[in-house]
Amino acid sequence: MFAVRTLRSQALRAPMMVRTNVTLPKLDYAYDALEPYISGQINEIHHKKHHQTYVNGYNSSLTQLAEAEAAGDVLKTIQLQQAIKFHGGGYRNHNIFWKSLAPVSQGGGQLPTGALAQAVEKEYGSFDKLIALTNSKLAGIQGSGWAWIVKNKENGSVEVVTTANQDTVGPQFVPLIAIDAWEHAYYLQYQNVKVDYFKAIWNLISSHLIIVSTRNNRKVGKMSELHELCHLTARPIDKSYVEKLQYFLSNGIPSTYTVEECENYLAGKEDEELESTTTPLHLICRSIPDDIKPEEKLIVLEMISELFSWGAGWNLIDNEGNTPGDVLFRRGLHNSEYYNAIVDAGVRAELLLRKVNDDIEFLSDFEDGEVPELVDEEASAKDEPSNDEPSNDEPSSNEEALEKEREYQQKLEQVRKDLIEDPANTQSTYLKTKLEYRDGSLITKDNKDGVMMDWESELMKAGCDTIFSTVREFATDPEKFDESDFTDITVLNIGFGMGIIDTMIQEKNPTMHYISEAHPDVLAKLRQDGWYEKPNVKILEGRWQDTLPELLNQGVFFNGIYYDTYSEHYSDMLDLYDLIVGLLKPSGVFSFFNGLGADRQVIYDVYKKIVEIDMANYGLEVKYTELATPATTGEEFDQSEESEWNGIKRAYWRCKTYYHPEIKFQD
């Protein structure tokens, strides 16, 4: 059905072609909190003026670049690279700089313990030696520049590197600490004695960027302190949990820092691709104790909300294939407040994503062969290997960065091809794909993808009953309605498939029964089975997008409309809503096959709400009835004997309950 891939494709869409402005980050401390080592005045000017200038410069260069690209002005696009490098570097470097510092009261100047400390001791003998080395490199910077303590992704070693001007460190390094050696960072306080500034700043350096505890903690072994916290082992779960969580998050640990990233980090393999993303939120969902007390529950909810406010993902998949909501669902916490918090975050995220993507053309909007190149935000934000200036990097790392970039582009290209070539995802491909009617199902001939299966008959029956519901009510209670709505009983079904619902509709003997169908093989079946001869049937050949607008012109109005297509996405449904409001009689009823996100319960719950919100914008109200769904173990590739999905490549249904929608104009 249409919605199976809706969200998967959204997940793929998310990183594409989105360009948003960068903004000046808030500092985690007051301007004067770094005194006496760095004066409040310096910090304020440094942040509000200098850093802000880079933010503005970067944004405006990107805007100019987009304009130059649109105008085909090649020379201008080349000229702009320098400004992007300078301002983009200034923006990024300062972000890392602020995170590299902390007031003494918040851990500034405390040498790191754990994995980083061990690595430094092994390589340099002591942290002091590393500091001395950094200071000598700082002193050696000619003009303006930066010193960095980085972790080399290739060999895992901790290194000190410097960059000139606002050049930033390349993708082969994880920046741990950045020290600004521009005059604007110290002159007001230290004048020309910059060595004193370099000495003083070590009283503020914070090792929060990489908090890794090496404690061998019960069965869990090494992990980050953030992850340890989210295991909720210390009871009672009290306010200190929230405080610690806030501390980690505000000190630069991402809310989506995964167990896998941490493991890779500890093994010195940061650039290894992650196969799964077990986030702090997953850990919390796994760890909520069964005997939780009401006051502890409030704390856990506060932690969840804190994670979301720092950008935690509601639909990331952990090492067991579950989103945080799935984890709760499987633990029987389906209707809990934790679960609802995740669904609400999902609704917000999806609506926001739609807003962001509003101006973006989706892959499915393009015919084959005319798909634009994908621009990946993350990739373009990465350092471009510079060719205009000698850099600090070894030539080999430049080549490697290029090679990585090529690999990355290849992968994107593959994703693009897969999407386009998948009939379940792209209409133009689907409409060219051969179909086969085979015992109780309609499937794609080559791939054996289920288009329609007869276990859905129950759902079709519910659909048919629903679109005739006001016709039935009118028969018993005509007073309630405007009679003119019922002088003719006209219904529309979009998507014939196996004709299950159309056969049921015929049994109700409507005045007119419209059928919208786009696939040539299905139209052939309609012809073969005599549907064209039925006196009250009118077949609209072609995509509904092309045939329904004509009905608006003809003044055809419906008592009921049912929608159930294939390889369409929720964005298509949004287009459909525009037509539905125009085509329904005032007492008309709209329903659809609700497979929106049904391959995962949480996504199903999120889309249940999104439909309500979207329909309300049209003055329509949704009532859901819960129905049971057919045999499935809930697993992705359920091939068990008793499963409906045996022999079908992808199960498009994995939920135990079906939310059947009945949509009418609000009273």
Contact partner at residue 499 from Fe ion, ligand SAM, none, CB < 5 to 8 Å by partner kind? ligand SAM
Contacting Fe ion within 490-529 (CB under 5 A): none
The nearer residue to ligand SAM, 308 or 592, going by C-beta atoms, is 592
Helix, strand, coil: what percent of the chain each, to 5?
A: 50, 15, 35
Q: Which of 172, 565, 587, 594 binds ligand SAM (CB under 6 A)?
A: 565
The nearer residue to ligand SAM, 1 or 178, going by C-beta atoms, is 1
Q: How far is the CB of 264 from ligand SAM (least distance, A)?
A: 43
Q: Which of 288, 303, 401, 494 binds ligand SAM (CB under 6 A)?
A: 494
Q: How far is CA 429 from CA 94, 418, 568, in A?
A: 47, 11, 11
Binding mask 413-452 for ligand SAM (x = CB under 6 A): --------------------------------------xx
Please tell me the distance from the alpha carbon of residue 102 to that of residue 251, in angstroms, as a whole number: 9
Contact partner at residue 543 from ligand SAM, Fe ion, none, CB < 5 to 8 Å by partner kind? ligand SAM
The nearer residue to Fe ion, 182 or 645, going by C-beta atoms, is 182
Contact partner at residue 182 from ligand SAM, Fe ion, none, CB < 5 to 8 Å by partner kind? Fe ion
Centroid of chain to Cα 270: 22
Strand ranges in 145-288 using DSSP code E only, listed in sequence order: 145-152, 158-164, 173-180, 212-217, 221-224
Contact partner at residue 393 from Fe ion, ligand SAM, none, CB < 5 to 8 Å by partner kind? none
Q: Which of 98, 496, 590, 607 binds ligand SAM (CB under 6 A)?
A: 496
Contacting ligand SAM within 447-486 (CB under 6 A): 451-452, 460
C-beta atoms surrounding 388 within 10 Å:
8
Q: Which of 59, 61, 516, 601 binds ligand SAM (CB under 6 A)?
A: 516
Contact partner at residue 422 from Fe ion, ligand SAM, none, CB < 5 to 8 Å by partner kind? none
| Region binding ligand SAM by CB under 6 A among candidate stretches 151-159, 230-238, 357-365, 540-548 | 540-548
Q: Which of 54, 98, 146, 182 binds Fe ion (CB under 5 A)?
A: 182
Q: Which of 180, 326, 485, 564 binds ligand SAM (CB under 6 A)?
A: 564
SS (H, E, C) 124-163: HCCHHHHHHHHHHHHHCCCCCEEEEEEEECCCCCEEEEEE
Contact by Cβ (8 Å): 108, 141: no
Query: Residue 193 corresponds to which tokens in the numbers above?
Result: 């004695």
The nearer residue to ligand SAM, 312 or 467, going by C-beta atoms, is 467
Q: Confirm or reject binding of residue 57 to ligand SAM (CB under 6 A).
A: no
Which residues are CB-contacts of 207 (< 8 A; sequence separation ≥ 6)?
107, 110, 111, 112, 116, 176, 177
Contact partner at residue 522 from Fe ion, ligand SAM, none, CB < 5 to 8 Å by partner kind? ligand SAM
| Region binding ligand SAM by CB under 6 A among candidate stretches 49-57, 159-167, 398-406, 488-496 | 488-496
Q: Which of 90, 112, 170, 499 binds ligand SAM (CB under 6 A)?
A: 499
Q: Confirm or reject binding of residue 180 to Fe ion (CB under 5 A).
A: yes
The nearer residue to ligand SAM, 160 or 573, going by C-beta atoms, is 573
Look up residue 108 and give its amino acid. Answer: G
Q: Which of 326, 517, 644, 662 binds ligand SAM (CB under 6 A)?
A: 517
The nearer residue to ligand SAM, 33 or 580, going by C-beta atoms, is 580
Q: Which residue is nearest to Fe ion (CB)?
A: 180
Please tell me the distance from the alpha carbon of residue 242 to that of residue 234, in angstroms, as a whole number: 13
Contact partner at residue 622 from ligand SAM, Fe ion, none, CB < 5 to 8 Å by partner kind? none
C-beta atoms surrounding 239 within 10 Å:
11
Q: Which of 5, 13, 519, 600 binds ligand SAM (CB under 6 A)?
A: 519
First CA to last CA across the chain, in angstroms?
Answer: 31
| Region binding ligand SAM by CB under 6 A among candidate stretches 106-114, 198-206, 497-505, 584-592 | 497-505
Please tell me the distance from the alpha carbon of residue 376 to that of residue 398, in angstroms, as a whole number: 20
Residue 25, preceding peptide bond in cis (omega within 30° of 0): no
Please tell me the distance from the alpha carbon of residue 81 to that of residue 61, in angstroms, as a whole number: 8
Q: Confirm or reject binding of residue 284 to ligand SAM (CB under 6 A).
A: no
Which residues are CB-contacts of 241 (< 8 A; sequence separation ≥ 6)?
229, 232, 299, 303
Q: Which of 160, 232, 501, 648 binds ligand SAM (CB under 6 A)?
A: 501
Bridge partners (DSSP) listed for residue 606? none
Q: Which of 500, 539, 603, 620 binds ligand SAM (CB under 6 A)?
A: 500
The nearer residue to ligand SAM, 83 or 431, going by C-beta atoms, is 431
Residue 467's nearest CA partner among 550, 587, 555 is 587
Look up residue 313 and give its amino acid. Answer: G
Side by side, which strands form the sheet with 441-444?
A: 435-438, 441-444, 450-453
CA torsion sign for 87, 93, 96, 102 is negative
Contact partner at residue 4 from Fe ion, ligand SAM, none, CB < 5 to 8 Å by partner kind? none
Residue 19's nearest CA partner among 374, 347, 257 is 374
The nearer residue to Fe ion, 27 or 68, going by C-beta atoms, is 27
- The runs of H, that is alpha helices, within 363-499 are 377-381, 395-421, 427-432, 457-467, 469-476
Q: How many residues bind ligand SAM (CB under 6 A)?
A: 24
Q: Confirm or reject binding of residue 98 to Fe ion (CB under 5 A).
A: no
- As a residue count, the chain comes to 667
Provide the Cα torsion 508, 513, 519, 525; round to 10°.
60
Q: How far is the CB of 284 from Fe ion (least distance, A)?
A: 37
Q: Confirm or reject binding of residue 498 to ligand SAM (CB under 6 A).
A: yes
Contact partner at residue 178 from ligand SAM, Fe ion, none, CB < 5 to 8 Å by partner kind? none
Q: How far is CA 664 from CA 326, 330, 452, 585, 622, in A?
A: 31, 34, 26, 10, 7
C-beta atoms surrounding 577 within 10 Å:
17
Q: Which residue is nearest to ligand SAM (CB)?
A: 497
Contact by Cβ (8 Å): 266, 212: yes
Q: How far is the CB of 86 from Fe ion (least distance, A)?
A: 12
Contacting Fe ion within 183-242 (CB under 5 A): 185
DSSP assignment letter at 238:
-
The nearer residue to ligand SAM, 248 or 607, going by C-beta atoms, is 607
| Region binding ligand SAM by CB under 6 A among candidate stretches 88-96, 348-356, 470-478, 538-546 | 538-546
Residues at the contact surface with Fe ion, assessed by CB under 5 A: 180, 182, 185
Residues at the contact surface with ligand SAM, assessed by CB under 6 A: 1, 451-452, 460, 494-501, 516-519, 522, 543-545, 564-566, 568
